[in-house]
Amino acid sequence: MKILNHIVFIWLSASTVHAQSAFYDKLSTAAIDLTKQQVTYDPSYFRIGYPNGDVPSDKGVCTDVIIRAYRKVGIDLQKEVHEDMKLNFSRYPAIWGLSRPDKNIDHRRVPNLMTFFERHGETKPMSRNAADYQPGDIVCWNLGGGTTHIGIVVSRRSRDGKRPLIVHNIGAGQVMEDCLFNFTIIGHYRYRKL
C-alpha cells in the first residue's frame, strides 16, 4: 500500500507539473500573439468596464501587455487585483494618494501588480542567470527616476540563444525584444490562479 501511495503521489506531481507547464506555455504564446496587434503607447486614465474591462485595443502601456496576455488564458487581472485591494488596501503601495481602490487603473500600475504577484503568486530569484527565467514569468524593472516597467518572458530566444525574449511595451507598442538584462530587475514572478 505504501508503494502504491508513493506511485500515486509521483503521478499526481507529474500531472501538476505538466498542467503548470502547459499553462505558462499558453501564457507565453498569448504574449507573443499580442505583438501582432498595433498599439500606441498611451498612459492616459480610462474609465473601463468591470470585470474584464480594457482600455481601447489600439492603446496601452507595459501593464496592459500583462493584463491582455492573462486575459487570453482566462484570468482577469483587473478583477483579481481589485478584489484583493478591496480587502487589503493598506498592503498595497500608497503612491497615488488614493483612499480606496479604483477598478479603472489599479491593475495598470506596476507597483500594484508586483504586490499582487508577491501576495498570490510565486516570487522567483532576481538573478543575472538567464536560465532562471522561464516562459510565462513576469519580470519588473526599475528604469531610473522612479519609473518602473513590467514584461513577460516568452519561449523565443535571443539570436545567440543565450536569453529568453521579453514581450513588453516600453513606448514602441507591444513588442518582443532581447532586453531581459537591459535594466535593473526589481521583481520576478510566476502567477497562475488556482
pLDDT band at 20 (very low <50, low <70, confident <90, very high): confident
Q: Whole-model pTM? A: 0.90
CA distance 59 to 61: 7
Burial letters 41-57, b for 16+ CB under 10 A, else e: eeeeeeebeeeebbbee
Round the average pLDDT of the chain to a whole number and report it: 93
Alpha helices in 35-109 (DSSP H): 62-72, 77-88
What was the pLDDT predicted at 177? 98
What is the sign of the dihedral through the CA atoms of 174, 175, 180 and 183?
negative
Residue 8 in this model has a pLDDT that exceeds 50: no
CA distance 31 to 20: 17
